[in-house]
Structure 1
Amino acid sequence: MLKFFAKERTVAGPGFNRWMVPPAALAVHLCIGQAYAFSVFNGPLSKAIGITESAPDDWKLTTIGWIFSLAIFFLGLSAAFGGKWLEKVGPRMTMFVAACCFGGGFLISAIGVALHQIWLLYLGYGVIGGIGLGLGYVSPVSTLIKWFPDRRGMATGLAIMGFGGGAMVAAPLSVFLMNTFKTATSVGVIQTFVVMGVLYFISMVIGAFTIRIPAEGWQPKGWTPPATENRMITRNHVHIDEALKTPQFYLLWLALCLNVTAGIGVLGQASVMIQETFKGGVTPAAAAGFVGLMSLFNMGGRFFWSFSSDYLGRKNTYYVFFILGIILYTLVPHTGQTGSVALFVLCYCVIISMYGGGFSTIPSYLADMFGTKYVGGIHGRLLTAWAAAGIFGPVLVNYIRQYQVEHGVDKAASYEVTMYVMACLLVLGFICNMLVKPVDRRHHMSEQQLRNAEPDLAGAH
């Protein structure tokens, strides 16, 4: 059985259709994208005992909120440390372990709800499920890049778009299942967790079993690398540990962190922000529609910007993120002053599209800089920037707003300073991106190092 998961057993044979790989990646990313929809369980979990309203022994929302926070924390942690293991064992084994962790996390959480033990939800969805999130996120990326050297951005965009869109499937599915299983003595969360855990496990295992890696030296039919090398796209490879010794890694870490900080800071406050900016002019239902629209742009941006980067270049695409972002964040306060809801919505939808685009473009940017051999592991370590941004963004938005309100600033105007701060962060990101240069050749792996890195898999099928 273990031989089936061996890396050499996943090497594709002659004539394999590379377009079978993106659906395998999507089978995983659409599942783990459920994390963005976990908040639909917050209300029911806070009434697990009281059923119709919270009982004295029910969990508080602040207690439940740690489940998602732990999941995102362990996503970043497992991506950072599991990326190197991924390069050793291959995507099939990694995706299978991700399926076991993510699906199993739901089952452990179901037991936690049944026993009313919050620590089991922290362990199940937060820790074990979070590990599944991280391994599942990075596992298909390097494989897609190797299959599509001619369209790196498009390929990674297809998969990472799935992570952005997973919540659009998970949210209505979760609500439907809870309503189906709900009784006079149960909010339906236990059964919903079990069903979703099994469904996600099956889907992710299908992706793991169908994934393939190209044989050593494989190239798309009819495609050859450009005769003149693009200085920003290397033909060499940098070892995962050596990448941490280059300034390029830290510049790209900062570029991603700053771009994501600006986007995630407003993503979590979108509904409240539009209602307070246009007090009385935007209903809660309309604000919810605005949040849904932003989700569509988050998902679509992941594919659009990553696809565009194949033509614009990765560095130029990040220039667009920062320059256009600076303009839009500076413009947003004026939309509130003029009362233009349409312009406000347009600005934020474009901003969130670039937030998603930053995630989907960065794997190809890393492959351009460090080569494709260890890009999965390098990408995993760079995702610690996401974890950092997940703290910085909301803290900046919430605390600056709170400070403004406490000092007599009207709520409608309390976000103006925040928007200018975000614009300043993007200026720093622009500078970091500008400083990115090709990796010095002393960091490149030699032919001998490449031969010793792992057994030649060219003849294995």
Structure 2
Amino acid sequence: MSAVIGNDVGAGNGWLDKERTIAGAGYNRWLVPPAALAIHLCIGMAYGFSVFWLPLSKALGAGAAACGKDVSLLTELFAADCNWRISSLSLMYTLFFVVLGVAAALWGGWLEHVGPRKAGVVAAFCWCGGLLISALGVSTHQLWMMWLGSGVIGGIGLGLGYISPVSTLIKWFPDRRGMATGMAIMGFGGGAMIGSPLAVELMKAFGGSVAATFVCMAVIYFIFMMGGAMSYRIPATGWKPAGWTPPAAQNSNAMITQRHVHVKKVWGIPQFWLIWMALCMNVTAGIGVIGMASPMLQEVFGGTLIGLTGDAAKFGNLDKDSLAKLAVMGAGFAALLSLFNICGRFFWASISDKLSRKLTYAVFFILGGLLYASIPSSADSGAKLAFVGAICIIVSMYGGGFATVPAYLADIFGTQMVGAIHGRLLTAWSTAGILGPVLITYMREYQQSLGLPKNEAYNQSMYIFVGVLAIGLVCNLLVRPLNPKWFMNDAELAEEKRLAHDRAIANDVGTGSGGSASAASSSTLVAVLAWLAVGIPLAWGVYRTLLSVVKFFG
């Protein structure tokens, strides 16, 4: 992989070269979103890895001892004679999103030069290869191989796969930037809806073998990701949708620029850091709640969720059977949140095309702050519907923040290197992935150490998140159009276009369907089939999720 990433970006004639992906006249741009979805629905399984923790914690059998408290994490990484702790396995989440941000930041510029196809192929090899290494780690009971395979190598695949379609979609949909990125990035939110039940079914089929499940999923994901990567096409330089005219800058304060910033300059631009902070604060608050939503619901409302009243309903007084029923309720709630996460990505990103990105982010912070502040009172009064509704909307805005920010960056920094700039911005996600869970879990434990009952242990965290969102709101309000000094001049832009192999016309196999009626009809049919290829698995995932949601409301 390092050899591939380290290659110079000189012109070539290979099937992965960017020149081979330039679409010709008449190409149907609606073929690009399903290609992006094919990749995002696969790597989005990172959200669903929790289905493996319990089986992996018993990989040596119920008779084997668990690694005790006297076994350090470093020792556990290489221990083959004790069952792994769930807390050690769940650190994979941190690895996923830290490595994702770092990889996206490091190789975002490379992606802009070589195009989305090569980046998508490398992502497929990393993500699926990481699963195969993890399978070997499970077979040999070596936790370090799990971390290296899925956490590090797979995390690199996450980073490259996540940002691979961003620049391409924004260039194909200059008239609907938010909607376009929302379509792709909703796939990352929906990946667990498909992957989690698929993993459960595969583990049943393979007699509980996680290693065999990893191998099977690696094969399935590789086919889909390679199909998506090979389907990527980029528009020729200067292409625009028929009948669409770029909005003219009415004054020097226009929030949508027609110029372009080089990625190497963004670390020094104040607006980059303001948007970085806005995303980080939105994700910190959202990811903190997502990680604890299920236990929070169960501990706050206890037995009232299953019809108990009085002292018998308090969480600490519940028997094993009642706790099992609550666990089903918690799983249904988590499934409901996953639906709001994926739908919020498309809804809010599309809305941002009408409201503007800045105003949409202001809604996230103001409405989100009000909802977080309402949660303690909803919990105290037993208002379950208000409590659940607030968290569902919060989670939709968490997903919406991810889907809206690429278009926000394109508005402020231009489209030439928006994928690379987005890659660097994702370090905010890596940071938030640590801050959010730490804040809510630390405050929960601290409140309980003071003697507060479980149903009140989350109140302080909610008020802290209100403050976190207030910081994000201030940062968002401070975003202004860039000083012209940050934009590339004509010579710099021409050089960047040369390095990126921009072409004004299609060249070789990148040609589109042409302009005839029969070709247009063929293109429409291919687009329908492409959407079915990603839509059917997604519909299956939604169906399985709705089954869990029904249990929650039942």
TM-score range relative to shorter protein:
over 0.9
Q: 1:54 to 1:23 in 2, by over 3 A?
A: farther
Is 1:216 equivalent to 2:256 in the alignment?
no
Give, in whole Å, the separation in 1 of the partners of 2:249 and 2:122: 41
Determine helix, strand or coil for the equivalent of 1:3.
Answer: coil
In 1: Cα distance, 2:236 partner to 2:53 partner? 46
In the alignment, structure 1 residue 343 sits paired with structure 2 residue 386? yes
Q: 1:365 offset after TM fit, Å?
A: 0.2
Deviations 1:402-443 (CA, angstroms, capped at 9, x unpaired):
111111222211211111111111111110000000011011
In 2, Cα distance between equivalents of 1:31 and 1:292: 18
In 2, the alpha carbon distance for the partners of 1:66 and 1:328 equals 29
Partner of 2:261: 238
Distance in 2 (CA, whole Å) between partners of 1:67 and 1:422 is 24
Say which SS state the counterpart of residue 302 (structure 2) adopts: coil
1:181-209: CA deviation from partner (whole Å, max 9, x where unpaired)? 11xxxx31111111100111110000110
Q: Deviations over 1:125-174 (max 9, x none)?
A: 11111100110000001100000000000000000000000000001100
Q: Residue 108 of structure 1 corresponds to which residue in structure 2?
A: 133
Contact 1:113 1:121 in 2 (8 A): yes
In structure 2, the residue matched to 1:179 is: 204
Is residue 2:293 matched to residue 1:270?
A: yes
Give the counterpart letter for 1:211 in structure 2.
Y
In structure 2, the residue matched to 1:77 is 102
User: Secondary structure, in 3 states, of the residue corresponding to 1:279?
Assistant: helix
Q: Which residue of 1 aligns with 2:374?
A: 331
Q: What TM-score do you get using the length of structure 1 for normalisation?
A: 0.97
1:366 lines up with 2:391 in the alignment:
no
Distance in structure 1 (CA, Å) of the matches to 2:175 and 2:344 = 20
Partner AA of 1:41 in structure 2: F
Partner of 2:210: 189
Counterpart of 1:157 in structure 2 is: 182
Distance 2:63 2:32 in 1: 46
Aligned-residue offset at 1:52: 7.8
- Report the equivalent of 1:457: 503
- 2:166 counterpart (126, 136, 141): 141
SS in 2 for 1:234: coil
- Relative to structure 1, the CA distance from residue 58 to residue 410 in structure 2 (aligned partners, 3 Å threshold; closer, same or farther) is closer
Rg larger for: 2
Taking the aligned partners of 1:2 and 1:111, their CA distance within structure 2 comes to 36
The letter of the residue matching 1:151 is: R
Alpha-carbon contact 2:249-2:257 (below 8 Å) kept: no
Q: Distance in 1 between matches of 2:448 and 2:470?
A: 26
Alignment of 1:18-417 (within 5 A): 18-50=29-61, 57-182=82-207, 187-229=208-250, 231-282=254-305, 283-417=326-460
| 251-260 or 218-227, larger mean C-alpha shift | 218-227
On the 8 A contact 1:257/1:386 being kept in 2, the answer is yes
Kept in 2, the 8 Å contact 1:46–1:54? The answer is no
The residue that corresponds to 1:17 in the other structure is 28
The CA RMSD over aligned residues, in Å, is 1.4
Report the 3-state secondary structure (helix = DSSP H, G, I; strand = E; otherwise coil) of the residue aligned with 1:62. helix
How far apart are 1:69 and its partner, in Å?
2.4
Question: For the residues of structure 2 that align with 1:420 and 1:125, how far apart are their CA atoms?
Answer: 35
- State how far apart, in whole Å, the 2-side matches of 1:362 and 1:392 are: 20
Q: Partners of 2:63 and 2:243 in 1: how far apart? A: 63
Q: Take 2:245 and 2:166, find their aligned partners in 1: how far apart are those partners?
A: 22
Structure 2: which amino acid aligns with 1:212?
R
Secondary structure of residue in 1 paired with 2:378: helix
Query: Aligned to 1:268, what secondary structure does the other structure show?
Result: helix
Task: Kindly state the Cα deviation for residue 281 of structure 1 after the two structures are TM-superposed.
Answer: 1.5
Matches of 1:450 and 1:277 in 2, distance apart?
A: 56
CA contact (8 A) 1:237 1:370 kept: yes
Deviation string, structure 1 residues 356-393 (Cα, Å, up to 9, x no partner):
00000000000000000000000000000001111111
CA offset digits 1:86-118 (Å, max 9, x no partner): 011110000000000011111111111112222
Given that 1:305 and 1:317 are in contact with CA atoms closer than 8 Å, whether structure 2 keeps it comes out as yes
**Alpha-carbon offset, residue 460 of structure 1:** 3.9
Deviations 1:205-226 (A, max 9, x none): 0011010111000000111112
Amino acid at match of 2:463: Y
Could you tell me how far 1:51 is from its partner in structure 2? 6.0
Partner of 1:423 in structure 2?
466
1:266 is paired with a residue whose SS is helix
Does the CA-based 8 Å contact 2:64-2:82 persist in structure 1?
no
| SS, match of residue 280 in structure 1 | helix
Percent identity between matched residues is 56
1:254-281 CA distance string (max 9 Å, x none) = 0000011111111100111111211221
Tell me the distance in 1 between the aligned counterparts of 2:13 and 2:438: 45
Residue 73 of structure 2 aligns with which residue?
Answer: none
CA distance in 2, matches of 1:78, 1:2: 27
Q: Structure 1 residues 110-119 or 146-155, which shifts more?
A: 110-119
Contact 2:40 2:162 in 1 (8 A): yes
Query: Secondary structure, in 3 states, of the residue corresponding to 1:219?
Result: coil
Alignment partners' CA distance in 1, 2:83 and 2:52: 14
2:366, 2:63 → 1: CA distance?
A: 49
Q: Is the 8 A contact 1:153 1:310 kept in 2?
A: yes
Using the size of structure 2 for normalisation, the TM-score is: 0.81
1:13 is paired with a residue whose SS is: coil
Give me the whole-angstrom Cα distance separating, in 2, the residues matched to 1:171 and 1:159. 19
Does the aligned pair in 2 maintain the 1:47–1:54 contact within 8 Å?
Answer: no
1:435 aligns to what? Answer: 478
Q: For 1:313 and 1:336, locate their aligned partners in 2 and report how far apart those are by CA, in whole Å.
A: 34
Shift of 1:53: 7.1
CA contact (8 A) 1:275 1:281 kept: no
CA shift, 1:2, in A, is 6.6
Residue 67 of structure 1 and its aligned partner are, at CA, apart by 2.8
Letter aligned with residue 245 of structure 2: T
Shift of the alpha carbon at 1:244? Answer: 1.8
Contact 2:64 2:83 in 1 (8 A): no
Looking at structure 2, the residues matched to 10 and 350 of structure 1 have their Cα atoms a distance apart, in angstroms, of 39
Asked if the contact 2:94–2:433 (Cα under 8 Å) also holds between the matched residues in 1, the reply is no
